[in-house]
A and B are shown apart, each in its own frame.
Chain A
Amino acid sequence: MDYDVIIIGGGVTGCCIARTLSLYDLKICLLEKEADIASGTTKANSGIIHAGYAADRKYVKRKFCIHGNKLFDLAHKELNFPFKRTGTLVVALEERQIKDLVYKRNYGTEDGVPGLEIIIDKNRIKRMEPQLTDKVIAVLHAPSGGIVSPYELTFALAENAHMNGVEFFREHEVIGINKIVAGFEVETKPKKFTSRIVINAAGLFAAEVSRMAGADTFEIYPRRGEYILFDKGLIHLNKVLFPMPTRLSKGILASPTIHGHVFIGPNADNILDIEDISTTTRGLKEIISGGVMLVPNLPLNAAIRNFAGLRAVSNTMDFIIEATEMVGFVNVAGILSPGLTSTFAIAEEVVRILIEDLGEELKEKEKYNPYRPKPEHLSDFTKMKLNQKIKENQAWGRIICRCETIPEAEIVDSIRRPVGATAIDGVKFRCRAGMGRCQGGFCMPRVMEILSRELNIPYDEVTKRGKGSHYLVNKVLCIELTEDSKESEEVAEK
């Protein structure tokens, strides 16, 4: 056997399982079909660490969410990803909605959600969140709710897993799984792997992967949510704001991001194509009308990006975390919201399944290191520190992305880190170069140069996110420049 455990899928779920299992004496690898980890649902969601009062008691996801929320404090200390307990507010705009707030508070408190409080003092509400609509009647405050950068969390998990011996294979799409004696043969486009245990964390494709292994027990349906992100500095929110369902809005929230932007979304659109992360005119209109109900002062003409994510909804509408009849094949599927919040609890559950259901005797490694160093960011430096950093390494003094003030040193680091960036989007999501208001308009050619140099590939082979997403198709060939026929003599190299 090549491995003890193969994990399929490099979203937050797969990477968190990889990191959690890396504590034990196991040979592990993770297979991801895209050019980078965190390319699926993990890349485009609300990034909210939910307090846990929202889901119905009949779902296991409620339990995972409440417990998962609590696990974030330790994880944050160990892994150094951007995370903040901002607190969340459920906003009632009509008298009759207060009843529902009371219900949420009572059951939430009983189930262990800390600090839930209903506030009706308008002055106090406005002090907590000055941007909230004047029409507010009451709010449910959950101080343990917060925000996280979902992809930076995932990179941190993967880097730490890698430090502890997990191997990562990107652009390795699993296309077949065969049962062999005492394990599985996992077929990917480039090559075959064998392993005793296979964990399916393939997100939207989890049903397909499960069928490959012969466990045809559930379906996954995509449900799309669209978002609009606004430029920094124009509006500030302290807390995550949730609406209550009304006749007019399906539940568009408004939230700060960990990097100081504000976004609105998501709507909920059941669609057919499992890869359709396109945004729609109708959807964008819907979220704008929902967003302004909570925050009337949204800077609608200062949107910098719209995007969409797909929830992987199973037929039970709940998480499916279980060992299957194909012994050694474990499904971690249907991880829709609050999957991000639940991630550490889900990984704990996988450990339990390995020990109790599969009879694994897990031994802790001698040299496990739970700490992942915090990537250095210019924005965290004092002026003196920055000066000293440039003296040590000139690349700190060459600013590449001007909107977010990202120097060459951070871009190089995002490529050289364990499980580092291999394409433009990878750099962007790791160090924010190109994330700002010009969305890479100025810095993309420079980042392409750095990628080409660091990865030792030709400039025109740098991609946005792996195969098929090339930026450049041809070279301009300058034959001769004469006064009167400047451009007419240039031809495109075929």
Chain B
Amino acid sequence: MKSLDVDIAVIGAGSAGLGAAIEAKKQGMDVLILERNDELGGITLQCIHNGFGLKIFKEDLTGPEYIQRFIDEAKELKIPYKLDTMVIEITEDKEIYAVNKKEGLLRIKAKAIILSMGCREKTRGAINIPGFRPAGMYTAGQAQRFVNIEGYIPGKTFVILGSGDIGMIMARRLTWLGCEVKAVVEIKSYVSGLIRNQVQCLEDYNIPLILNHTITKIHGKERVEGVTISSVDQNWDRIVDSDQYIECDSILLSVGLVPENELTTKAGAELSNNGGPIVDDNLETIMDGIFACGNVLQVHDLVDNVSEEAKRAGKNAAIYVKERYGKEQIKKDHIKIIPGINVGYVKPDYVNFSNLENLLHFHLRVKEPDRDVIIVIKEVNKIIYQRVRSFVIPSEMIEVRTKFKPEVISPNCRELKIEVLPVSLLEVLDEVG
């Protein structure tokens, strides 16, 4: 079996992996990228629409244009990479096993590992849609791949279930190709993707968005022939007599993404309720020297945020190799970050006490949309951070960047809570505090 030693191994070469590898290399590390596909770039390669790079490059790029800049930089820096190479196991002592056709099984011993395996789409079973199981049902990303990469159109008339970004983008893409998108059906009372996609992909093309509805039956034995949709009440239960039949030959599912963490759990790292590994503010998992960034950590809506997060992971992994690797690990002095009222999840899950004075990045998503809210961070009932926002929605990730002065946090603080509250509640809380 072929064995290799590296400072940092990066698993997955999407925007996260490339960004992290570039930063680690710049910090003087010996880096190796492992990618299972036959090219670098990850999911952005199939996102041929625009809207990438507005934040980082101040330009409106397509996915492939955006990622090419990172691919070029990685190549300029001569970062070694292996394509068609799938990592099948990471052991607790940071040995990576990967396979490819030419070299067989590889064992890679790394001082630090960066996980950047991306995410996968939820499928029909995950949401239990009743009915037949014919051909003609695709996840939106699968359809995107057929159309944009393979050059095939998977149907003529479509109903899209779920209003995730990929679904809305595919609604527009298929319309351009002369297909008919009969409806985008969403069980919630608001879209689950970005508002900009609702406007630019659905409204601009008069594609009906049917809210508070879901597919209650799939028709067709060999190939999809149609769907029954029904309206639902607040508990998402079907309302009797609200059934409506729509004829179509294809169904696209855009019902959410889940971080891809089989390897992560094998390596001994634990996951939090969003499906991503538990990390501290260095983006380090509970396993020393194993870091995570990009969609494997949390599903991002903007690639620019992925690149930014990746850069931090690359940098922190390099610091780990230089300062902590091979030394006795000191017990970490962690403060736990707890998602409170109307917070679905927050990353990181922990902050190192010693890092409180550095710039911290928190990412969170709300559970429910709301207007005129205040985002607060509290130690017990004392508010130590607050920021007002006029509108929040689960599809738009909220970023909070802040430093804490040592005097605002008590030395024996063990946890901080982050909440998104109606502004009106604020005074009341203040009094309690």
Chain A residues within CB distance 8 Å of chain B:
228-229, 233, 275, 277-281, 283-284, 302-307, 383-384, 386-388, 390-391, 394-399, 402-403, 405, 407, 437-439, 441-442, 444-445, 459-460, 463-476, 478, 486-488, 490-492
Q: How many residues of B contact A (CB 8 A)?
A: 57
A437 contact set on B, CB distance < 8 A: 120, 123
Hey, which chain A residues are within 8 Å of B145, CB to CB?
445
Q: Once the chains bind, are A471 and B136 in contact (CB under 8 Å)?
A: yes
User: Which residues of chain B have a CB within 8 Å of any CB of chain A?
Assistant: 1, 36, 48, 84, 86, 88, 97, 99-105, 120-121, 123-126, 128-136, 139, 141-142, 145-147, 150-156, 173, 176-179, 216-218, 221-223, 238, 249, 262, 265
CB neighbours of A302 from chain B (8 A): 126
Cβ–Cβ contact B153 & A229, under 8 A: no
B104 touches A463 (CB 8 A): no
B178–A278 contact, CB under 8 A? no
Q: Which residues of B contact A395 (CB under 8 A)?
A: 101
Contact A472 B152 (CB under 8 A): yes
21 pairs across A/B with beta carbons < 8 Å?
A275-B221, A303-B126, A303-B128, A306-B129, A383-B105, A387-B1, A387-B104, A390-B105, A397-B100, A397-B105, A399-B86, A403-B262, A407-B99, A441-B141, A441-B142, A464-B222, A471-B136, A472-B152, A476-B153, A488-B176, A492-B178
Report the Cα distance A278→B133, complex, angstroms.
7
Which partner residue on chain A sits nearest B174 by CB separation? A492
- Bound CA span A463–B223, Å: 10
- Across the interface, which residues of A come within 8 angstroms of B100, CB to CB? 397-398
Determine if A229 and B125 form an interchain contact, defined as CB atoms under 8 angstroms apart: yes
B125 and A278 contact, CB distance less than 8 A: no
Closest 6 CB pairs of A and B: A468-B222, A305-B125, A464-B135, A474-B153, A390-B104, A394-B101
Q: Is the interface of B mostly helix, strand, loop or mixed?
A: mixed
Chain B residues within an 8 Å CB radius of A399: 36, 86, 88, 99
**B296 CB, min distance to chain A CBs, angstroms:** 13
Residue among B102, B126, B146 making CB contact with A304, cutoff 8 Å: B126
Whether B102 contacts A394 by the Cβ 8 Å rule is yes
Bound: A71/B177 CA distance, A: 58
C-alpha gap A470/B217 in the complex (Å) = 20
Contact A487 B173 (CB under 8 A): yes
CA distance A394 to B136 in the complex (A): 33
Distance (whole angstroms) from the CB of A189 to the closest CB of chain B:
15
Are B125 and A468 in touch, CB under 8 angstroms? no
Residue of A nearest to B221 (CB): A275
Contact A470 B223 (CB under 8 A): yes
* Structural contact, A228 and B128, CB atoms closer than 8 A: yes
Q: Which residue of A lies closest to B121 (CB)?
A: A441
Residues of B within 8 A of A463 (CB): 135
Cα-based distance from A281 to B155 in the complex (angstroms): 26
The distance from the CB of B12 to the nearest CB of chain A, in whole angstroms, is 11
Give every chain A residue within 8 A of B97 (Cβ-Cβ): 383
Additional pairs, 11, CB under 8 Å, beyond known A284-B130, A390-B101, A474-B152: A280-B130, A283-B130, A402-B86, A407-B99, A439-B124, A441-B142, A459-B150, A466-B222, A469-B135, A469-B223, A475-B152
If A303-B126, A463-B135 touch, whether A476 touches B101 (CB-CB below 8 Å) is no
With beta carbons under 8 angstroms apart, the residue of A277, A388, A468, A471 that contacts B154 is A471
Given B134, B147, B154, which contacts A469 in the complex, CB threshold below 8 Å? B134
Asked whether A284 lies within 8 Å of B128 as measured between CB atoms, the reply is: yes
The residue on A at minimum CB distance from B100 is A397
Chain A residue nearest to B224 (CB atoms) is A469
Q: B residues within 8 A CB of A460? A: 152
CA distance A472 to B220 in the complex (A): 16
Q: How far is the CA of A407 from the CA of B99 in the complex (A)?
A: 10
Q: How far is the CA of A269 from the CA of B318 in the complex (A)?
A: 61
Give Cα distance in the complex from A391 to B1, angstroms: 10
**Which chain B residues lie closer than 8 Å to A441 at the CB level?**
120-121, 123, 139, 141-142
Q: Do A490 and B99 touch (CB < 8 A)?
A: no
Q: Which residues of A contact B173 (CB under 8 A)?
A: 487
Q: How far is the CA of A303 from the CA of B132 in the complex (A)?
A: 17
Known A398-B101, A438-B120; judge A383-B1 contact (CB<8 A): yes
Which partner residue on chain A sits nearest B142 by CB separation? A441
Q: Which residues of A are found within 8 Å of B178, using beta-carbon distances?
A: 491-492
Q: Is the CB of B105 within 8 A of A386?
A: yes
Question: Given the complex of chains A and B, what is the CA–CA distance between A472 and B223 in angstroms?
Answer: 11
* Nearest CB in chain B: distance from A326 CB, A: 31
A475 touches B153 (CB 8 A): yes
Cα–Cα distance between A391 and B178 once the two chains are bound (Å): 47
CB-contact partner of A476 in B103, B124, B147, B262, under 8 A? B147
Residues in B neighbouring A284, C-beta threshold 8 A = 128, 130
- Nearest Cβ in chain A — how far from B121, in angstroms? 5
Q: List the B residue with the shortest CB-CB distance to A305.
A: B125
Considering the complex, give the chain B residue whose CB is closest to the CB of A476. B151
Q: In the docked arrangement, what's the CA distance between A474 and B135, Å? A: 15
Beta-carbon contact of A473 and B99 below 8 Å: no
Contact partner of B150 (CB less than 8 A), chosen from A229, A303, A445, A491, is A445
Q: How many whole Å from A195's CB to the nearest CB in chain B? A: 30
Query: How far does the alpha carbon of A395 sit from the alpha carbon of B84 in the complex, in Å?
Result: 12
C-alpha gap A486/B97 in the complex (Å):
42
Closest A residue to B133 by beta carbon equals A307
Q: In whole Å, how far is B240's beta carbon from the nearest beta carbon of chain A?
A: 11
Known pairs A280-B130, A471-B154; A438 contacts B105 (CB<8 A): no
Q: Is the CB of B105 within 8 A of A468?
A: no
A487 in contact with B153 (CB, 8 Å)? no
Contacting pair A402 B101 (CB below 8 A): no
Given A275-B221, A437-B120, do A397 and B104 touch, yes or no (CB 8 Å)?
yes
Known contacts: A228-B128, A441-B139. The answer to whether A473 contacts B104 by CB under 8 A is no
Residues of B within 8 A of A280 (CB): 130, 217
Structural contact, A464 and B221, CB atoms closer than 8 A: no
User: A209–B36 Cα gap in the complex (Å)?
Assistant: 50
Q: Are B146 and A445 in contact (CB under 8 A)?
A: yes
Is the pair B134, A492 in contact by a Cβ cutoff of 8 Å?
no
Q: Are A472 and B125 in contact (CB under 8 A)?
A: no
Complex formed: what's the CA distance from A296 to B123 in Å? 24
Question: In whole angstroms, how far apart are the Cα atoms of A397 and B279 in the complex?
Answer: 32
CA distance A476 to B265 in the complex (A): 40
For the complex, what is the distance from the CA of A383 to the CA of B98, rounded to whole Å? Answer: 10
Shortest Cβ distance from B117 into A: residue: A402
Determine whether the beta carbon of A281 is less than 8 Å from that of B216.
yes
Q: Which of A228, A283, A475 contacts B151 (CB 8 A)?
A: A475
- Are A469 and B139 in contact, with the CB atoms below 8 A? no
Q: Which residues of A contact B216 (CB under 8 A)?
A: 281
- A472 engages B146 (CB within 8 Å): yes
When chains A and B are docked, how far (Å) is the Cα of A399 from the Cα of B83? 12
Q: Is the CB of B130 within 8 A of A306?
A: yes
Residues of B within 8 A of A405 (CB): 86, 88
- A275 to chain B: closest residue by CB: B221
Most buried by A among B130, B136, B177, B265: B130
Could you tell me if B153 and A397 are in contact, using CB atoms closer than 8 angstroms? no
| A residues less than 8 Å from B132 (CB atoms) | 277-278
User: CA of A459 to CA of B130 in the docked complex: distance in angstroms?
Assistant: 30
Q: Say yes or no: A438 contacts B152, CB within 8 Å.
A: no
Given contacts A390-B101, A391-B104, A445-B150, contact A439 B177 (CB under 8 A): no
Question: CA A245 – CA B232 in complex, angstroms?
Answer: 32
